[in-house]
Structures are given as C-alpha cells and as structure tokens.
Amino acid sequence: MRKQDSADKPGSKRVPQYWWDFGPDNTVIVQSDDDRIALLGRFPYDASLGEGAAQSAVDQAAALIADLRSGRLSPFKIAI
C-alpha cells in the first residue's frame, strides 16, 4: 500500500507520472501511476524487421508521453 502524502489529501492535485516499457507480443506500452488509467497506449512492432521497428514504437510512445505531460492530450480521452 502506498504511503499517503500531501498530494493525496482532498483538494490537492497530484501530477501523474508516465513511462513506456516493452510489453508482451512485441509491443511498447505506455503506463501511468494513476490507478484509474494504468495503461494508456500500446504500440505494436514487427520484431522480424529488426531494431528499427522497435525504435519506431518507442518513438511513438515517447511522443504520446510528451503530449500527456504537456497537457495536449488527456489520459481520459485516449482509447486503446
């Protein structure tokens, strides 16, 4: 169980953290520490095409994270 901090108190806002990771079946996934929406994106790639295909999926995930952090996208309006 996560320790409650001042950002968890009513009226306080906590900024969610976002990151990417390699998921199952040759995918790059974007995750969040927000319990309401833990998985925000899934970017598949064809491993038989080499490292460039995986890098392209990582670049797409990084672009999504940049949009989320800047506020250009809302995590509640993303459909995966």
Give the pLDDT score at 1.
Answer: 44
Domain count, the chain: 1
Residue 28 in 3-state DSSP?
A: strand
Residue 8 confidence (pLDDT) above 60: no
User: Which of the four pLDDT bands, split at 50, 70 and 90, describes residue 44?
Assistant: very high
Please state whether the predicted TM-score (pTM) of the whole model is above 0.85: no
Residue 48 has φ and ψ, to the nearest 5°, of -70, -15
Residue 36 placed within a domain: yes
Q: How far apart are CA 76 and CA 53, in angstroms?
A: 28
Q: What is the mean pLDDT of the chain?
A: 85
Average pLDDT (55-71) is 95
Q: Is residue 4 situated within a structural domain?
A: no
Quote the domain boundaries for residue 38. 16-77
Buried b (16+ CB within 10 A) or exposed e, 34-69: eeeeeebbebebeeeeeeeebeebeebbeebbeebe
pLDDT above 70 covers a percentage of the chain that reads 82
Q: Would you say residue 6 lies in a domain?
A: no
